[in-house]
Each structure stands twice: as C-alpha cells, then as structure tokens.
Amino acid sequence: MQPIGLLMIEHRLIERMVKLMRSEAVRIEQDKEPDMAFVRTAVDFIRFYADRCHHGKEEDILFKALELKPLSKEHKRIMTELIQEHAWGRETLARLEQAGKDFASGNQDALDELRATMKELAEFYPQHIIKEDKHFFIPIMQYFNQAEQDAMLAEEYGFDRKMIHEKYRAVVEDSERVTTKREGNS
C-alpha cells in the first residue's frame, strides 16, 4: 500500500461523519432541537480523527517529506492551500464547539451559529477531500521512490499507534482539571 492509501481510506470514514453532520444541520434548520450528544461526538471526531490523526499524518509526515522534494509550482500551490484549509477547519470546529457549549448553557442565540458552522464543515470536507484524492495525492507519489513510500507508510502506522495514548491522556488531564476545580470550590 502507498502512504496515500491509508489517507484515502480515512477519507471514507470522514465522509460518513460529514454526511451525518449535514443531516443534523438540515434537521436543525427545520426548527428541530439539536442533538447535543451528536454535536459533541462530531466535534470529538473532527478534532481527533479528521484533524489530529488524519491531518496530522498529512502535515507531519507527507507534507514534511514533500518539502524536501523539488515540487512543481502547481503541487506547491495545492499543498499550501491544503495547509490553509486545515487551519480553517480547526478554526471553524472551534466555533462549532463554542456554539454547542453556549447553546447547552441556555443561550438560544447560539443555535444559528451551531447550525451554520456544522453546515460549513459539512460543505467544506467533501471539496477538501476531492482536492486531496483527485488533484494531489496521486500525482505527488511520483516524487517518492518505493523505499521512501514504505518508510512514510511505516511512520503513518506509528503515528496512529500513538494517537490513542494522546487522546486518552488528554481525557484524564481534562478530568483531573475538572476534579481539582470542583474540589477547590467545595
């Protein structure tokens, strides 16, 4: 398997979540109460799977390897766009998360932001994925020989193995902060 193969497989799972996000945004537009458990699940999925795990492999492994290659102007341009799109996705996800928190705490005005940012992300990811799959990933493999591709794939698998530890270390640290704060207020 090429290193882009693993990334493209991940895209299929991201597309499934994005489809659910789009459905939830439409449901909210129909004057329905948002499913806050789903909103939290979507935020968690996009943050850890789509961004930290998937975009992490792209930026920390693939793009870093590409920076050492004599890329065409077109490939440099697309890579720059992809990095900017990743940053936009993080910013938009933060807005979605905040809108969810605001709505959950009783701010009804946050409902429009919640719906709008969920819709923005659901519209963004399919186009972003098409750009990567069809216009970037396949052509950039020409810059790497088989040994380089094998090394990147091994690095991607290693990256994934560390992710579960990173995620759940953060869960424990967040829980410790909440507990410390609660015990300090008792």
Judge if pTM exceeds 0.85.
yes
Let me know how long the chain is.
Answer: 186
DSSP assignments along 33-85, one per residue: PP-HHHHHHHHHIIIIIIIIIIIHHIIIIIIHHHHTS---HHHHHHHHHHHHH
Tell me, what's the pLDDT at 183? Answer: 78
Q: d(Cα 158, Cα 149) in Å, to the nearest integer?
A: 14
Q: d(Cα 121, Cα 17) in Å, to the nearest integer?
A: 11
pLDDT in tens, 133-152: 999 999 999 999 999 999 99
How buried is residue 127: exposed, middle or buried, by Cβ count under 10 Å (0-12/13-18/19+)? Answer: exposed
Tell me, what's the pLDDT at 121? Answer: 96
Tell me, what's the pLDDT at 186? Answer: 59
Tell me, what's the pLDDT at 182? Answer: 73
Average pLDDT of the chain is 92
How buried is residue 180: exposed, middle or buried, by Cβ count under 10 Å (0-12/13-18/19+)? Answer: exposed
Q: Which two tokens stand for residue 19?
A: 């489809």
User: Is the distance from CB of 66 to CB of 75 less than 8 angstroms?
Assistant: yes
Q: Which residues of the chain have pLDDT under 50?
A: none
Q: What is the set of domains in the chain, with CATH numbers?
A: 3-178 (1.20.120.520)
User: Is the distance from CB of 95 to CB of 35 less than 8 angstroms?
Assistant: no
